[in-house]
Each structure stands twice: as C-alpha cells, then as structure tokens.
C-alpha cells in the first residue's frame, strides 16, 4: 500500500467515526418542551404530578400491564426464575433466594412485591426500601444511614407509593435527579460528582441509582456499591476479595460451606462496558423512547421491555427494520440462556462435589478450602449474568466471556474437591 493510500484510509476512518458520532447525537434528540408546573417538595403521589403532566402519567400507568416478553425471557409476569433454571435452588441453598426469586415487573409494583416477598421477614432491615420508593429521600434526611438499620416494617408503614415521579425529577424544575445515597457515594468514590452530570449522563444515572450491584455493610446495613476497582465482573470480585468494610460474604452455602456472594441486578455495570454505552446510548433511549400524541412529543414512561416498543425504541438509530432487530435480540438471548443454564448446572455440581468431599473424614482441608474459593468465584461469574435482567442483550461480548469463566471455574472446583477427597481423576 502506498503512503497516499494509507493516508486516505486513515482520513476515511476518521470521517466514518465522526459520522457515527453525529448519528448517535441525532438519535438523542433534546427533551420535548413542556410547561413546568411546580409541585410541592416531598409529594410522592404520581396522580398529583399526573394532573400537570398527563401524557407522562398516562404512559406511566401502563406499567400495571402484566405481559410476557416477546422473546420469552424477562417479561412483566411474576414467575419464579427457577421454573426455567432449577439449578438456582441448589446454588442459593441456605439463603432466601432459594425460596423466592421472581422475575421483575413494572415499577408500580415495587413496594407490593417487596411486601409479598418470601425473602422478607420480621428481622428485615430498612435498607431494603432503598431502591423501591422516593420516601428514601425523607428517611435519609431524618436519620442519615441510620434508616438502613431500622426495622423494615416501620419504614414500610410510612411508604405510600412505589417508584414514582420524585424518584427521578426535581418537583419544582422537573430536572432529572438521583436520590439514592448509595449511588451518589459510589460515584463519588469513582471521582464522579453526580450534581455535575450532563443531561445525557442523567438519562442513565436515574436508572443506575437502583439497577446496580450492592452489598450491606456489616453492622450498619448501609448500602454500598462495589465500584472502587471498576465495573467488570473480575474487578468487582477482587474488590470483594479485600473484605471491604469487614464484609466477607452474603451467606454460607448450605451444602458446600463456601462463603458466597449474591449478585444483584448489575444492569448498569454490565451495560456500561457494552457497545451501546460506548456509543453514548443511554438507558432512557431504549426504555423511555419518544412518543407522540395529538401532535405532542413526550418521553414514554412505560418503562418495560423495549421489545414491546421496538420501533420507537430502536428505529431512531437503526434502519434495519424491526424484524431484523427482534431476531438479533432473540438470538443473543437464546445463546446467553444456553450457556448460562449450563454454567449454573456446573456450579451446582461443584457444590455437590464439595459437600461430598467435606463428608470424607480424611479430607485434605487446604484443598477443600481451595475448592470453596473456586466455587465462590465460579458462582459469582454465573450469577453476575443470571442476576442481570437483559439475558445477554446489554453486553453480549462481556456476558459470553464471563459465562465461559464460570464454566471453567466450576470444573476446577469439582477437580479440586475430588483431589481433596483423594479421588483420582482418570
Ligand atoms: C427506585 C429504584 C429504581 C429506579 C430509579 C429505576 N428502577 Fe427499574 N426497577 C426497580 C425495581 C425494584 C424493579 C422491580 C419491581 C418489581 O418487580 O416489583 C424494577 C423493574 C424494572 C424493569 C422491569 C419491567 C418489566 O416490565 O418487567 C425495567 C425494564 C426497569 N426497571 C428499567 C428501569 C429503567 C430504564 C430505569 C431508568 C429510566 C429504572 N428502571 C429506574 C427499581 C428502580
Ligand atoms: C440499546 C437498547 C437498550 C439500552 C440502552 C438499555 N437496555 Fe435494558 N433492555 C434492552 C433489551 C432489548 C432488553 C431485553 C428485553 C426482553 O427480554 O424482553 C432489556 C432488558 C432490560 C431489563 C429487564 C426487562 C424485563 O422485561 O424484565 C431491565 C431491568 C433493563 N433492561 C434495564 C436497563 C438499564 C438500567 C439500562 C441502562 C443502564 C438499560 N436497560 C439500557 C435494551 C436496552
Ligand atoms: C425512573 C425515572 C423516572 C421516573 C420515575 C419518572 N420520570 Fe419523567 N422523565 C425521566 C427521563 C429520563 C426523562 C427524559 C428527560 C430528558 O431527556 O431530559 C423524563 C422526562 C419527563 C418530562 C419532560 C418531557 C418529556 O416527556 O420528555 C416530564 C414532564 C416528566 N418526565 C414527567 C414525569 C411524571 C409526571 C412522572 C410520574 C408519573 C415521571 N416523570 C416519572 C425519568 C423518569
Ligand atoms: C441512540 C441510538 C441507538 C438506539 C436507540 C439503539 N441502538 Fe443499537 N446500536 C447503536 C450503535 C451506535 C451501535 C454500534 C454501531 C453499529 O453497529 O451500528 C449499535 C449496535 C447494535 C447491535 C450490534 C452490536 C451488539 O451489541 O450486538 C445490535 C444487535 C443493536 N444495536 C440492537 C438494538 C436494539 C434491539 C435496539 C432497541 C431496543 C437498539 N439497538 C437501540 C445505536 C443505537
């Protein structure tokens, strides 16, 4: 290739990149203009806000709808995840997720579903309310993180509404805002001041304040986001390895005795390293697309599977047509599910092998401890995907490699357990 050709190619690449950037910017159109009607601070009833903003409120109420997802994953029906993946019961043995682990549904059900969850009991702490309602603003104002250690029942009594308008909007200016203190602190430790975020960033942050991985600080039950080393599954795992704030484990596995971590809906972390996030696409672009009614443009507040609004959600950027898009999503999800199911089953086999080894009176204790560390990590790599809500779509590449690691580590855990028990490998 001549020097001239090389220069031309370089120039062309820059032009293509720039065009790509412009397309994404155009995709993210500015907010529709609305007349701002100031609402009293601390007003959490969406019906009151709805009088001022009827289009947004009408679409918000669609979240009461309960229907499956067109691809058969996710969806807004309250079904148990273990129906399709029975290995979950074995993998969460000894902790409440083995009793009740339902698929998520619309925001309007957040408080009701918390109240009805079999994972909740008289000993449950106020921290659980953090990602369910804007009342957390009041609780935090009154007692700082002290609210997290109060009995959940006491705070539930005062909580009259689930995720509503004040969760994401300043009631006087309608500007986007975040109120979850754990999110604000987690970002601050990464050097990010959320009060200085751009509008585009806020279109993701309002969701990320809840759709993120967390743990409870021992003693105080303060909610902490494990982000100090980064968002990748390996980075969060090594953060936990340092026993942050004295946190060692979420629970001890009933069969293998391994000190386990429970991953929680890491939608934001997974999404952040994927193609769409890197191209500047935000959660709201797909989950709150622009709609029109009577000539008025507004953001859909029917936050659900974008496959139910595929054209509005994707076609502002993609010209391939809805059939191609839904086929792509379905393919990604089918492949993720297969690998996730296999990895989950292998992790379950590892717990069983370790249990068997531990029952052997002559077991090699050091090797047994090694097998428990391996299964802890294997399960983390599986669960960080299984607990993510998009069945692979938010970041197909990272999800596939992570599940590959889960499988490999599960096999290593089985081999290690067999070694500990003195069972030779053929
Ligand atoms: C206050 C915390 C909170 C915020 C903020 C929040 N969510 Fe949620 N989200 C939840 C909870 C809790 C559920 C599960 C509710 C249930 O199952 O009862 C949920 C469920 C969902 C679902 C499943 C809906 C269905 O039909 O199955 C989607 C999709 C979703 N959220 C996306 C988003 C997006 C996108 C944003 C930002 C625009 C966002 N969420 C902001 C807490 C939150
Ligand atoms: C490029 C489009 C796109 C973006 C951007 C996006 N998502 Fe999604 N999301 C999807 C698709 C597609 C699904 C799969 C829906 C299904 O299975 O029916 C999904 C599924 C989900 C679900 C589960 C829905 C259900 O039916 O249970 C949640 C929760 C969710 N996303 C949250 C988020 C959050 C939070 C962000 C930002 C951090 C985000 N998404 C960014 C496209 C997107
Ligand atoms: C989970 C977060 C979230 C909740 C809850 C929420 N909104 Fe929004 N809202 C958004 C986002 C994101 C936008 C887009 C803002 C932007 O791009 O500047 C928006 C935009 C708006 C706008 C500006 C016009 C438009 O349609 O883009 C109005 C008005 C509005 N919302 C009203 C409401 C009302 C009323 C409620 C309660 C019934 C509500 N919102 C609940 C996230 C939320
Ligand atoms: C705001 C713009 C925007 C929106 C909205 C958007 N995308 Fe994309 N999408 C992109 C960009 C940019 C890329 C990366 C460059 C490319 O492949 O064109 C991409 C890539 C993809 C890819 C290939 C890469 C991958 O991760 O597998 C698929 C599939 C895809 N998008 C599906 C969807 C679907 C489905 C929706 C709606 C639920 C959607 N997109 C919404 C901008 C967008």
Using the mean position of ligand 3's atoms as its centre, give its distance from the Cα of residue 285 in Å.
Answer: 12
CA-to-CA separations, 220 to 141, 158, 269, 304, 360, in angstroms, rounded: 17, 21, 25, 33, 39
Task: Look at residues 19, 32, 30, 25 and name the one whose alpha carbon lies nearest to residue 281.
Answer: 25
- CA 203 to CA 212: how far, in whole Å? 15
- CA 245 to CA 219: how far, in whole Å? 10
CB of 325 closer than 6 angstroms to any ligand 4 atom: yes
- CA 226 to CA 411: how far, in whole Å? 27
Helix (H, G, I), strand (E, B) or coil at 80: strand
DSSP secondary structure code for residue 291 in this structure? E
Task: State the residue for tokens 């092998």.
Answer: 353
- CA 328 to CA 285: how far, in whole Å? 18
Q: How many CB atoms lie within 10 A of CB 67?
A: 12
Using the mean position of ligand 4's atoms as its centre, give its distance from the Cα of residue 25 in Å.
Answer: 13
Question: Which helix or strand (DSSP H or E) is residue 297 part of?
Answer: strand 296-299
- 108-148, pLDDT tens digit by residue? 999 898 888 888 888 899 999 999 999 999 999 999 999 99
Mean pLDDT of the residues in the chain: 91
DSSP secondary structure code for residue 29 in this structure? P
* pLDDT above 90 as % of the chain: 80
pLDDT, average across residues 80-100: 89
Helix (H, G, I), strand (E, B) or coil at 414: helix
Q: Please tell me the least confidently modeled range out of 79-88, 208-217, 264-273, 359-368.
A: 79-88
Q: How many CB atoms lie within 10 A of CB 281?
A: 20
Helix (H, G, I), strand (E, B) or coil at 102: strand
How high is the pLDDT of residue 102? 84
Question: 258 with 252: CB under 8 angstroms?
Answer: yes
Which residues form the pocket of ligand 2, taking CB atoms under 6 Å from any ligand atom? 69, 71, 73-75, 104, 204, 207-208, 211, 267-268, 271, 276, 281, 283, 285-287, 305-307, 329, 389-391, 393-394
Nearest atom of ligand 2 to the alpha carbon of 313: 2
pLDDT, average across residues 174-195: 97
* pLDDT above 70 as % of the chain: 92
Ligand index nearest the alpha carbon of residue 37 = 3
More confident site: 228 or 68: 228
Nearest atom of ligand 2 to the alpha carbon of 285: 5
pLDDT, average across residues 262-285: 97
- Reported confidence tier of residue 26, pLDDT bands at 50, 70, 90: very low
Ligand index nearest the alpha carbon of residue 132 = 1
Pocket test for ligand 2, best of 23, 28, 286 (most atoms within 8 A of CB): 286
On the CB side of 155, CA atoms within 13 Å amount to 31
How high is the pLDDT of residue 9? 60
Question: 101 with 81: CB under 8 angstroms?
Answer: yes
Determine which residue's CA is closest to atom 40 belonging to ligand 3. Answer: 165
Determine which residue's CA is closest to atom 41 belonging to ligand 2. Answer: 283
- CA 279 to CA 114: how far, in whole Å? 35
Q: What are the tokens at 93?
A: 């043995």
Ligand index nearest the alpha carbon of residue 28 = 4
Q: Please tell me the least confidently modeled range out of 98-107, 198-207, 369-378.
A: 98-107
Nearest atom of ligand 1 to the alpha carbon of 207: 37
- CA 392 to CA 20: how far, in whole Å? 24
Q: Please tell me the least confidently modeled range out of 109-123, 338-352, 385-399.
A: 109-123
Pocket test for ligand 2, best of 206, 324, 393, 398 (most atoms within 8 A of CB): 393
Determine which residue's CA is closest to atom 41 belonging to ligand 4. Answer: 314
Using the mean position of ligand 4's atoms as its centre, give its distance from the Cα of residue 276 in Å.
Answer: 6
How high is the pLDDT of residue 76? 81
Burial of residue 249 (number of CB atoms within 10 Å: 0-12, 13-18, 19+): middle
- 28-78, pLDDT tens digit by residue? 344 557 899 999 999 999 999 999 999 999 999 999 988 888 888 877 887
CB of 207 closer than 6 angstroms to any ligand 1 atom: yes
Task: Look at residues 236, 316, 310, 239 and name the one whose alpha carbon lies nearest to residue 30.
Answer: 316
Pocket test for ligand 4, best of 73, 204, 314, 390 (most atoms within 8 A of CB): 314
- CA 88 to CA 152: how far, in whole Å? 26
On the CB side of 390, CA atoms within 13 Å amount to 23
The pLDDT of residue 300 is above 60: yes
How high is the pLDDT of residue 97? 84
Q: For the whole model, what pTM was predicted?
A: 0.93
Task: Look at residues 136, 116, 134 and name the one whose alpha carbon lies nearest to residue 126.
Answer: 136
């Amino acid at each position: 290739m001549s020097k001239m050709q090389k220069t031309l190619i370089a120039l062309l690449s820059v032009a293509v990149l720039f065009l790509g950037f412009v397309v994404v910017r155009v995709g993210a159109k500015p907010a529709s203009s609305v007349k701002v009607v100031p609402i009293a601070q601390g007003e959490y009833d969406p019906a009151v806000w709805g009088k001022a903003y009827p289009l947004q409120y009408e679409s918000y109420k669609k979240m009461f709808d309960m229907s499956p997802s067109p691809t058969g994953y996710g969806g807004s029906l309250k079904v148990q995840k273990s129906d399709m993946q029975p290995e979950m019961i074995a993998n969460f043995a000894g902790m409440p997720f083995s009793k009740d682990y339902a698929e998520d549904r619309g925001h309007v059900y957040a408080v009701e579903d918390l109240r009805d969850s079999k994972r909740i009991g008289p000993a449950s702490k106020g921290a659980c309310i953090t990602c369910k309602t804007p009342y957390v603003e009041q609780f935090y104002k009154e007692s700082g993180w002290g609210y997290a250690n109060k009995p959940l029942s006491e705070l539930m009594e005062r909580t009259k509404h689930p995720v509503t308008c004040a969760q994401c909007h300043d009631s006087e200016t309608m500007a986007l805002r975040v109120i979850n203190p754990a999110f604000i602190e987690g970002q601050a430790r990464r050097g990010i001041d959320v009060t200085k975020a751009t509008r585009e960033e806020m279109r993701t942050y309002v969701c990320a304040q809840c759709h993120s991985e967390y743990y409870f600080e021992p003693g105080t039950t303060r909610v902490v986001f494990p982000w100090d080393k980064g968002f990748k599954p390996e980075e969060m795992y090594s953060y936990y390895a340092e026993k942050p704030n004295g946190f060692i484990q979420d629970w001890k596995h009933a069969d293998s005795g391994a000190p386990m971590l429970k991953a929680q809906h890491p939608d934001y972390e997974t999404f952040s390293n994927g193609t769409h996030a890197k191209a500047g696409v935000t959660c709201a672009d797909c989950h709150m697309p622009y709609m029109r009614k009577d000539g008025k443009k507004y953001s859909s507040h029917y936050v659900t599977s974008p496959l139910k609004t595929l054209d509005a959600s994707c076609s502002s950027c993609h010209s391939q047509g809805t059939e191609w898009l839904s086929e792509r999503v379905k393919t990604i999800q089918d492949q993720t599910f297969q690998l996730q199911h296999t990895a989950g089953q292998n992790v379950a086999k590892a717990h069983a092998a370790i249990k068997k080894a531990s029952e052997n009176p002559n077991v090699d204790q050091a090797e047994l401890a090694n097998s428990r560390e391996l299964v802890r990590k294997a399960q983390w790599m599986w669960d960080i995907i299984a607990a993510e809500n998009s069945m692979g779509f938010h970041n197909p590449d990272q999800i596939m490699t992570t599940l590959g690691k889960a499988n490999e580590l599960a096999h290593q855990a089985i081999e290690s357990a067999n070694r500990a028990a003195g069972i030779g490998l053929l």
